[in-house]
Structure 1
Amino acid sequence: MTTTKDGQPTSSFAYCSWHQGYTRTARLVRLPADQGSGSGTPGLFACTPCRHAYDLVPISEQP
């Protein structure tokens, strides 16, 4: 999560691929299948409830 200069978290708005709706708690959990040139598939985002329900770990927290 990014923060502003005064330490406040910034909000983001993304589409949760699991419950198929927009949310402010979505985090990237899967990278695109093909990161080379071309259109490829987009990364997948999941909201907090879906991450807990499906045991999804955000990319930023993966080893």
Structure 2
Amino acid sequence: MTRPEKLTTQHTSSTQTTTTTTTTAHGYCCWHNGDAEDVRLIDVLETVSRGGAPALFACPPCRDRYRLVPLADR
């Protein structure tokens, strides 16, 4: 998985300027088996024999289609 990319947008009105920063993660979606933007961690599977726990990530279309709830939102 690659590092999150920071996107910055500026909203300007006649009297004030507001800057909003959004972090977008690029990575691998385990549901459609491909690279995707805005992947979120869905679950971490425990393994007994091998070090490290595999993590399952999903992109927005797969989260909607399969009604997946990101781990951080539970």
| TM interval, short-chain normalised | 0.7 to 0.9
TM-score (normalised: structure 1): 0.73
Q: How does 1:40-59 map to 2 (within 5 A)?
A: 40-59=52-71
- TM-score of the two chains, using structure 2 as the length reference: 0.64
Q: Size of the alignment, in residue pairs? A: 58
Quick one: which amino acid aligns to residue 19 of structure 1? H
Greater relative contact order (Cα 8 A, min sep 6): structure 1 or 2? 1
* Larger Rg computed on CA atoms: 2
* Displacement over 3 Å in runs of 4+: none
In the TM superposition, what is the alpha-carbon distance from 1:11 to its structure 2 partner? Answer: 2.2
Unaligned runs of 5+ in 1: none
Query: Which structure is higher in strand share?
Result: 2
Residue from 24, 40, 46 that aligns with 2:37: 24
Structure 2 unaligned segments of length 5 or more: list them.
1-5, 8-18
| Alignment-derived partner of residue 11 in structure 1 | 24
